Structure 1
């Protein structure tokens, strides 16, 4: 979590900071093989140098970005979880709980789908 300390310190809303820290810690614990990085002012996780998932903060939600392919693959599950999404990210409202099973599936999908990638992005 040391990699994300400065980013977390920049979050001025305590509830948002706590939620983001909780999610980042969960990813770190569930997928210890992933490497932490802050890029484009977003905490993200990489596997063998390729992007797996990233997070960002907005006024009304935490955004989760598994790239376009991850959003397309999980579009129905995202809607079923009560979240909405754009082409590139899923929005988790601050007022709703995090669906950790969905998050686990998204990360696992990207790890498997990108196992042979040698570039950062798809």
Structure 2
């Protein structure tokens, strides 16, 4: 899988596919400096080669992976948005609205926190 189109084309539900396309287009428009990569069959956005945020999908939800440190920093905001979470991801059900303001804060945070980072993941 080389790009976002190939990833989203594999989603059989057209509403879910459109929702992801809208999300990815929003990220690309809001953060044009981020590079889109597909690793481990998941779309990810990177900045100067370091991971910023990643996504995966299931039948009931999309998972958002901002890294454990970032999830911990935004845990209260994620809970206020009504999203379930683990230590590594939070889930947005297909019936829930995407909190774009929250995603913007999370992405901005990772970009700023990892501005001088040279590895893909945090240690």
Partner of 1:22, secondary structure, is: helix
Q: CA–CA distance in 2 between the matches of 1:62 and 1:47? A: 22
1:16 partnered with 2:12: no
2:69 aligns with 69
Unaligned runs of 5+ in 2: none
TM-score, normalised via structure 2 length: 0.95
TM-score, scaled to structure 1? 0.96
Cα RMSD between the aligned structures? 1.0
Structure 1 residue runs of 4+, over 4 Å off? none
Aligned residue pairs total: 121
- Unpaired segments ≥5 residues, structure 1: none
Listed one character per residue, the Cα deviations across residues 11-54 of structure 1 (whole Å, up to 9, x for unaligned) are 11111111111111100000000001011111110000000000
